[in-house]
Structure 1
Amino acid sequence: YTRPGRRHDFVPELRFEDFLDKQLSIDETASYYHRGVCIEGADSFENILDFIDWLPKIGMNSFFIQFENPYSFLKRWYEHEFNPYLNKEQFSNELVQELSDRLDT
């Protein structure tokens, strides 16, 4: 799980026989009870979903959106603030609320 997104998931294929004469012992303890992140910057809805899917795969157990909804982060992405190479996309409070509600489910 090198980064967010299913296209970056790599699960090696092993046969059952590969485990018959092997012994594996893993004893891990997390340094902190709460391990997570808070989004920042410019994020698309798909980026956020991929990120949430990825976090438990790397041992994280929390995700935090700073505000009631991620308006400012989504706005930066869809209006391409600070990116003169892309045109602004349709963006509204209604769209943000819809995307925020979908993230909450």
Structure 2
Amino acid sequence: MLKIEFSLLNNAQQNGPLPPHNPALKTIAVIGGAGSGKSLNSHAFAEYFGCNLIIESWDGETPLPPGSLALMNSHSFDKSLVTDYYDIADALLMLQNNTSSPANKANFSK
């Protein structure tokens, strides 16, 4: 069975308080290669996208709980399991520009 690392974003000392779990929250995937900044920026992505759970190294097949931010390094995954997905470069631009839509959605779409 695949091991998925979960990181709950409820440590107010490190990350500040986040809203309680809400099943209506979106499930977001951020895709990028090793060393691209996914984990380094995961808490900023979670706050930006309104997620309260970070899943490191998502396999692209395991169903995700609502409100999840899934980090992965493959563009091959079941797109029906996420609300939306972004290439790391687009996600970083969104953070930098504080925009609600990506500049270029990694040249793939749902």
Do these two structures clear the TM 0.5 threshold for a shared fold by scoring above it? no
TM-score, length of structure 1 as denominator length: 0.24
Task: Work out which of the two has the higher radius of gyration on C-alpha atoms and give 1 or 2.
Answer: 1
The structure that is helix-richer by fraction is 1
TM-score, length of structure 2 as denominator length: 0.23
> Which gives a bigger RCO, structure 1 or 2 (Cα 8 Å, sep 6+)?
2
